[in-house]
Amino acid sequence: MSKTVLYAKNTYELIKILNNNAGIQVVGGCSQIEELPEKFVSTHGIKELSQIERHERYINVGPGATLAELLALGSHLPPILSEALYTIANPSIRNIATIGGNICAKDHHHTLFAPLMALDTKLEFRNQNDTRTENIKNFKGVPEGFILSNIKIPLLDAELSIFRRIGHEKKISKRSASFAFLADTEKNSLLKIHLAFAGPFTFTSKDFENAMIGRRLPLSQKDVNEIEDLITKEFEKVAQDQMISDVMKQQFINLARYSFEQLT
């Protein structure tokens, strides 16, 4: 069956095409799409959507920027994000796969979601008349009639940075998930932590993170056991109605415990 492909020269044309073609799908690098829709609009060649701007405290990344272009930033990228990027597929795929495609993947949260949540990333959406900003932790999909126009990634350089993938090493499946943990200390106590999980659903808990602030360091094994109980209860609240295996649940708990054991 033949496909209808529409192209836009800039974001204005892209938004106009979306408004004039109800339900049309926006497609970037196509690296994750098994079958292209019958009609779609390509973001290929729209410079505004592939730019990367470095600032002192954050970077602005267009959704059309490839994973290879992000990795080319080297030490200017948060280490936890670099580590996650290197686990995705291979260099050939990273040359065409985009950060926007990774974030907006349907039905399952892909590799970059957890580290971007831990970094407190902000997403910007635009239509003809409005611009909206949303924390990635609240992201459920691009609003109707809008495009994802920018990804603002804080340049957090945490003392302790841990990223792990769960599931197949180079392939995303229903058993795939990512785990991210960032921690900073000050005067023998925990200053802040960020912990995130993303796969069949996303998990992060501001209440849990706040409860960890001020914990005396180094942690004792009793402290770690307490923390494991707390994070397990928080995770189970969210996972209760989700499709998640006992194995994946235990992997998350093990990774959370491992992360806090690095503070003993």
Residue carrying the six token digits 């609009």: 41
Q: pLDDT value at position 1?
A: 55
Chain-centre distance for alpha carbon 32: 16
* Whether the predicted pLDDT of 172 surpasses 90: no
Q: pLDDT value at position 9?
A: 87
Which band of pLDDT confidence, cut at 50, 70 and 90, is reported for residue 31?
A: low
Q: Which of these, 35, 40, 204, lies nearest to 119 by C-alpha position? A: 204
Q: pLDDT value at position 200?
A: 94
Question: Which residue(s) pair with 164 in the sheet?
Answer: 179
Q: pLDDT value at position 252?
A: 97
Q: Who has greater pLDDT, 2 or 1?
A: 2
- What are the φ/ψ torsions at residue 169 (nearest 5 degrees)? -60, -40
* pLDDT tens-digit readout, 135-165: 999 999 999 889 999 999 999 889 999 999 9
* Whether the predicted pLDDT of 34 surpasses 80: no
Residues 6+ apart with CB under 8 A from 254: none
Reading the block at residue 150, the tokens are 């920018």
Which band of pLDDT confidence, cut at 50, 70 and 90, is reported for residue 26?
A: confident
Q: Cα–Cα distance between 193 and 43 in angstroms, integer?
A: 36
- Pairing status of strand 122-126 against strand 147-154: antiparallel
Q: Who has greater pLDDT, 13 or 123?
A: 123
* Whether the predicted pLDDT of 33 surpasses 80: no
Element containing residue 40 per DSSP (H, E): strand 39-42
* pLDDT tens-digit readout, 233-247: 999 999 988 889 999
* pLDDT tens-digit readout, 42-101: 787 799 999 999 999 999 999 999 999 999 999 999 999 999 999 998 999 999 999 999
